[in-house]
């Protein structure tokens, strides 16, 4: 069933629940000097390229490949439309390796037709901190599908990750592969219900009119929590402490240092937004919330071309109720003209999804680890990791 994945050091379906396997690495590392030095072979019409995402022409090529060929919903109504600035943010965290931004070109005309990336991350799995790669943006041009190019891309990124002496990876996919460590669901909170219904993202509920629906999803004009404000550079140490304390309670979560927090959470326009609550009394930072911006292209609609979506990222509530904090996040997203606010059922998100009028999406997001076994799949609420 899985000609490629059966050959890889990942949990296999036949071993699920088998308690004779210990948790942890499946294969031990080998000396870096033993890692294959030549790239894997591609079909003869194609060649490898390392993509310098700093270079504007290259960033445009990657952007165009993904804009036309990346992930669509099951009904092919929407396609993710990551912006160039987003890709630069996603691909250049502290300690990133340019060699992990891998493309495939057609030899004859140099057209970019496939892509895969990794970025380094420290991930806590139970009591262990493991240096991993987060693998993302696997994409093969629509005209080259089902030719077994994806396994070559995966093997090549794996080789280049091994060359940096890293032996584990984390990734998510909408498809079921051997073997998910967790299976999560997206929930959607309408901010602009009329547009969402017009483009077919959502449907008018039974016995609902458009005007009742608009009233149902109406939000206050301004956040309600005293001391709620945008995160700034000076907040990095306090935000890091909040996040480290909070994320330590999950089975799988990133281990953020100050550089990671500055990179991943300091606001960048139309890429990532972060807000916090500064106590008006003692100026302590007590709560934090964040979301990233990932529009979707609307396919085949004459009135609208893009859906502006916010995705819940990391949130920590120590004093403000999480429900109120997330309601303030919805309010700022509405102020900034997002059409929808999305959240996975990870961490403590289930505690606010229904009350804040999120509805469940169709389709699941599966989380995976490469070369690291967990005995059992964990619950979404035990996951403290959000990948882009």
Catalytic positions, please?
Answer: 388
Binding mask 269-308 for ligand YNC (x = CB under 6 A): ----------------------------------------
| Region binding ligand YNC by CB under 6 A among candidate stretches 51-59, 131-139, 255-263, 331-339 | 131-139
Distance (Å, rounded) from C-alpha 361 to C-alpha 341?
Answer: 12
Q: Are 218 and 348 in contact (CB under 8 A)?
A: no
| Region binding ligand YNC by CB under 6 A among candidate stretches 53-61, 151-159, 236-244, 314-322 | 151-159
Among 314, 312, 315, CA closest to 294: 312
Interaction between residue 147 and Mg ion (CB under 5 A): yes
Q: If you search the block for the tokens 């799995």, which residue do you land on?
A: 125
Q: Are 98 and 54 in contact (CB under 8 A)?
A: no
Q: What Å distances lie between residue 217 and 214, 283, 294, CA to CA?
A: 5, 33, 21
Q: Which of 63, 137, 201, 246 binds ligand YNC (CB under 6 A)?
A: 137
The nearer residue to Mg ion, 149 or 289, going by C-beta atoms, is 149
Three-state SS at 163: coil
Interaction between residue 149 and Mg ion (CB under 5 A): yes
Q: Are 308 and 205 in contact (CB under 8 A)?
A: no
Binding mask 56-85 for ligand YNC (x = CB under 6 A): -------------xxx--------------
Smallest gap, in angstroms, from Cβ of residue 71 to ligand YNC? 4
Distance (Å, rounded) from C-alpha 367 to C-alpha 370?
Answer: 10
Among 112, 103, 111, 56, CA closest to 84: 56
Cβ-count burial 214-240 (b if 16+ within 10 Å, e if not)? eeebebeeebebebbeebeeebbebbb
Alpha-carbon dihedral angle through residues 258, 260, 265, 270, given to the nearest 10 degrees: 140
Interaction between residue 36 and ligand YNC (CB under 6 A): no
The nearer residue to ligand YNC, 252 or 317, going by C-beta atoms, is 252
Among 97, 124, 94, CA closest to 385: 124
Angle between helices 236-247 and 258-265 (to 10 degrees): 100
Interaction between residue 146 and ligand YNC (CB under 6 A): yes
The nearer residue to ligand YNC, 161 or 332, going by C-beta atoms, is 161
Interaction between residue 124 and ligand YNC (CB under 6 A): no
Q: How far is CA 61 from the centre of its chain?
A: 21
Smallest gap, in angstroms, from Cβ of residue 95 to ligand YNC? 15
Interaction between residue 234 and ligand YNC (CB under 6 A): no
**Number of chain residues interacting with ligand YNC (CB under 6 A):** 34
Smallest gap, in angstroms, from Cβ of residue 245 to Mg ion? 44
The nearer residue to Mg ion, 126 or 147, going by C-beta atoms, is 147
Three-state SS at 368: strand
Q: Which of 104, 135, 309, 347 binds ligand YNC (CB under 6 A)?
A: 135
Q: Which of 53, 62, 104, 140 binds ligand YNC (CB under 6 A)?
A: 140
Binding mask 167-206 for ligand YNC (x = CB under 6 A): xxx-x-x-x-x-----------------------------
Interaction between residue 148 and ligand YNC (CB under 6 A): yes
Distance (Å, rounded) from C-alpha 57 to C-alpha 63?
Answer: 10
Binding mask 86-105 for ligand YNC (x = CB under 6 A): --------------------
Compute the C-alpha angle 306/311/316, nearest 5°: 160
Q: Are 77 and 300 in contact (CB under 8 A)?
A: yes
Q: Which of 231, 370, 374, 380 binds ligand YNC (CB under 6 A)?
A: 370
Catalog residues that contact ligand YNC under the rule CB under 6 A. 2-5, 69-71, 133, 135-140, 145-151, 154, 157-158, 161, 166-169, 171, 173, 175, 177, 370
Catalog residues that contact Mg ion under the rule CB under 5 A. 140, 147, 149
């Amino acid at each position: 069933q899985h000609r490629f994945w059966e050959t890889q050091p990942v949990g296999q379906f036949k071993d699920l629940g088998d308690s004779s396997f210990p948790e942890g690495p499946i294969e031990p590392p080998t000396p870096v000097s033993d890692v294959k030095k030549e790239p894997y072979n591609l079909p003869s019409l194609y060649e490898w390229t390392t993509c310098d995402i700093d270079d504007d022409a290259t960033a445009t090529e990657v952007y165009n490949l993904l804009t036309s060929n990346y992930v669509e919903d099951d009904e092919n109504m929407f396609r993710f439309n990551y912006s160039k600035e987003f890709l630069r943010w996603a691909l250049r965290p502290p300690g990133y390796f340019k060699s992990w931004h891998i493309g495939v070109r057609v030899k004859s005309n140099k057209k970019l037709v496939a892509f895969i990336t990794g970025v380094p991350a420290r991930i806590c799995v139970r009591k262990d901190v493991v240096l991993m790669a987060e693998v993302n943006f696997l994409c093969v041009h629509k005209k080259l599908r089902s030719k077994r190019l994806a396994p070559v891309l995966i093997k090549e990124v794996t080789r280049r990750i091994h060359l940096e002496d890293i032996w584990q990876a984390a990734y998510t996919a909408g498809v079921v592969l051997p073997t998910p460590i967790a299976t999560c669901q997206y929930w959607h909170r309408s901010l602009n219900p009329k547009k969402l219904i017009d483009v077919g993202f959502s449907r008018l509920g039974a016995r609902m009119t458009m005007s009742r629906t608009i009233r149902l999803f109406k939000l206050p004009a301004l956040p309600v929590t005293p001391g709620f404000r945008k995160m700034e550079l000076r907040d990095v140490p306090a935000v890091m402490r909040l996040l480290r304390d909070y994320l330590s309670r999950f089975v799988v979560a990133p281990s953020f240092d100050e550089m990671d927090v500055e990179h991943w959470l300091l606001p960048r326009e139309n890429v990532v937004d972060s807000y916090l609550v500064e106590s008006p009394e003692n100026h302590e930072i007590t709560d934090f919330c964040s979301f990233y911006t990932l529009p979707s292209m609307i396919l085949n609609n004459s009135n609208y071309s893009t859906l502006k979506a916010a995705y819940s990222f990391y949130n920590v509530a120590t004093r403000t109720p999480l429900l109120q904090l997330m309601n303030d996040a919805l309010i700022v997203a509405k102020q900034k003209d997002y059409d929808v606010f999305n959240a996975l059922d990870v961490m403590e998100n289930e505690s606010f999804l229904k009350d804040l009028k999120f509805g469940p999406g169709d389709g699941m997001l599966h989380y995976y680890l490469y070369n690291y076994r967990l005995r059992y799949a964990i619950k979404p609420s035990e996951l403290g990791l959000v990948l882009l």
